[in-house]
């Protein structure tokens, strides 16, 4: 083991929430939330990926519990939030305002750090560009900007399919050849079907495709998590919903509006071999936002808990812990 690897930071010890509950945010949605760490510590909001993922006990362990007041929550339709896998009134901008409600009604803080990876990085950027005065720092991983080339990379032949041709065949298999010109719409038809069996079959195939591209090396544990019935339904339905609507963002919007956040200290941790959100987007964001600290991890893929990615994230939260 080389010195760099030996010195890599890892998760803080397991902790339990000191408070948790549900917050009604309107439109029939109720969000599950947890507060962890130091009630008087530096506030941070953790934004999970997906869209359609959920929070987990390990997510809160990316912060020093003695120094951070950590708010973790499940986004609309995700995890323990209700109604489950619901697509109505579920947009990027609904979530941005949900974060503000959590800040004022649950965390009860003036400002906080926004921490998010993958889709969570998109949401963190959208939130910070809307409410810049409420964000102390940004810690981002696996940048996804909802630009057309990023959607094409994941859902059209010639992108990630070039690296995972065998898994791509499994992804397109449930869709008849005459519908494969628009896989997102073809899957949407099945994911919103009244036939539970058809919906579940489509959800497992859609979610499995993502499970394959997010890991640097094959992971049976990740695949089991992504294809478990309820999780697959939430990931596939909500992610497909957001992808079809291009995140309710104009093309290039998050790069165009980066001037709103250039005075906010930020760190980006990006895996060199990230096949889900390739480094091109992180590099474009760095060029638009020269002040941000971009750390490209040479042996990193997409997931937060890969050794090099996790090291970068925890070094970032430690760096800002006393700020």
> pLDDT tens across 95-110, in order?
999 999 999 999 999 9
C-alpha to C-alpha distance for 127 and 80, rounded to whole angstroms: 22
> pLDDT tens across 117-169, in order?
999 999 999 999 999 999 999 999 999 999 999 999 999 999 999 999 999 99
Tokens representing residue 281 in the block: 């987007």
- Find out whether the peptide bond into 51 is cis, omega within 30 degrees of 0: yes
Burial, 316: exposed, middle or buried (Cβ in 10 Å; 0-12, 13-18, 19+)?
Answer: buried
Q: Is the pTM of this model over 0.75?
A: yes
pLDDT value at 62 more than 90? yes
Count other C-beta atoms under 10 Å from residue 221's C-beta. 9
Give all domains of the chain, ordered by start, each with its CATH number. Answer: 3-146+249-320 (3.40.50.1820), 150-247 (no CATH)
C-alpha to C-alpha distance for 98 and 92, rounded to whole angstroms: 10
C-alpha to C-alpha distance for 207 and 217, rounded to whole angstroms: 17
**274 belongs to the catalytic site:** yes
User: Annotated catalytic residue: which of 59, 74, 98, 118?
Assistant: 118
Percentage of the chain beyond pLDDT 70 is: 98
Ramachandran bin of 308, using left for φ above 0, alpha for ψ from -120 to 50, beta for the remaining angles: alpha
**Across the chain, what does the average pLDDT equal?**
96
User: Annotated catalytic residue: which of 29, 59, 241, 302?
Assistant: 302
């Amino acid at each position: 083991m080389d010195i760099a690897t030996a010195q890599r930071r890892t998760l803080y010890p397991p902790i339990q929430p000191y408070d948790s509950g549900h917050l009604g945010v309107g439109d029939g949605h109720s969000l599950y939330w947890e507060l962890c760490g130091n009630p008087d510590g530096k506030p941070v909001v953790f934004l999970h990926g997906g869209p359609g993922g959920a929070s987990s006990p390990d997510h809160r362990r990316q912060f020093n519990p003695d120094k951070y007041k950590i708010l973790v929550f499940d986004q609309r339709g995700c995890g323990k939030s209700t109604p489950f896998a619901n697509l109505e009134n579920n947009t990027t901008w609904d979530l941005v305002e949900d974060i503000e409600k959590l800040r004022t009604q649950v965390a009860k803080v003036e400002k906080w750090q926004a921490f998010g990876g993958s889709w969570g990085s998109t949401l963190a950027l959208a939130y910070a560009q809307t409410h810049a005065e409420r964000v102390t720092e940004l810690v981002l991983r696996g940048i996804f900007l909802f630009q057309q080339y990023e959607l094409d990379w994941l859902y059209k032949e010639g992108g990630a399919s070039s690296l995972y041709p065998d898994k791509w065949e499994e992804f397109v298999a449930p869709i008849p050849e005459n519908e494969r010109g628009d896989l997102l719409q073809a899957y949407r038809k099945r994911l919103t079907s009244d036939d539970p069996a058809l919906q579940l079959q489509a959800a497992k195939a859609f979610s499995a495709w993502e499970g394959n591209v997010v890991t640097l090396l094959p992971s049976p544990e990740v695949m089991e998590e992504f294809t478990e019935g309820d999780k697959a339904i939430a990931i596939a339905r909500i992610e497909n919903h957001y992808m079809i609507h291009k995140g309710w963002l104009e093309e290039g919007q998050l790069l165009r509006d980066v001037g709103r956040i250039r005075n906010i200290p930020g760190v980006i941790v990006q895996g060199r071999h990230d096949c889900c959100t390739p480094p091109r987007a992180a590099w474009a964001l760095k060029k638009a936002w020269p002040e941000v600290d971009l750390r490209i991890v040479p042996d990193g893929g997409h997931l937060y808990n890969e050794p090099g990615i996790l090291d970068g994230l925890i070094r970032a939260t430690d760096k800002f812990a006393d700020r």
